[in-house]
Amino acid sequence: MKKIMLMLVLAITGMANAQEGTILVGGNVGFSSDKVGDNKSNSFEFSPTVGYQFNENMTVGLQTSILGSKEEQGTTEYKTNGFKIGAFYRYAKPLSELFAVYADVSAGHQTLKAETTLTGLPTTSVKSNGFYAGITPALFINMKNSFGLNFSIGGINYNAMKSDTTPEVKSSGFDFNFGKTVNIGISKNF
């Protein structure tokens, strides 16, 4: 079984040498790709953020995400496109001039459109709307002049979705992925 996973996260999150009253501008970019036998899957996510840093420990802001995925299983193809918009709260604790730990708590609204295509049949499409919430702990390493690296290894996420189909389909679930994902980012405090 071949598994290729690439996570690229560019998080310009304003953590280093935090100063009261600064503006946070940043984002994440992620990509993953898997292949098992003839089955393939790819996913992409871009998540910009804007926030206000009240002091060295507290930041509040807005975040959005644009995501897409494609999965091929034999003669079936699944595509998903989505959009998220919400708020986040970050609590940071400097450990030294070089290191800090922080946790992001986020919540917001999300929409998804899923399409299924079977060879020779019409494509089916389902739209869903719902709510998300999550907690993500991370480590910050200050490199130089408020530039730094951010590392996280997963978190806890909750999703609740409702489809536009008749009858309406509701789904919800928790995702506890500590140690299953690795995010590496670069950050700058403005």
* CATH classification of the domain holding 75: 2.40.160
pLDDT for 7 equals 27
Q: What is the pLDDT of residues 25-83, one digit of tens each?
A: 777 777 888 889 889 999 988 888 888 989 889 999 999 999 999 999 988 999 999 99
Domain count, the chain: 1
Per-residue CA distances from 28 to 39, 103, 116, 147 (Å): 27, 16, 28, 16
Q: What is the pLDDT of residues 50-60, one digit of tens each?
A: 889 898 899 99
CB atoms within 10 A of CB 146: 17
Q: What is the mean pLDDT of the chain?
A: 83
As a whole number of Å, the CA-based R_g of the chain is 19
Which of 1-5, 77-81, 118-122 is modeled with the greatest confidence? 77-81
- For strand 99-118 and strand 147-152, is the pairing parallel, antiparallel, or unpaired? unpaired
Residues written for the chain: 190
With pLDDT > 90 as the criterion, what percentage of the chain qualifies?
47
- Give the C-alpha separation, 46 to 85, whole Å: 12
- Residue 184 above 80 pLDDT? no
pLDDT for 19 equals 60
- Specify the range with the lowest mean pLDDT, choosing from 18-27, 99-108, 140-149: 18-27
**Residue numbers of the domain that contains 90:** 3-188
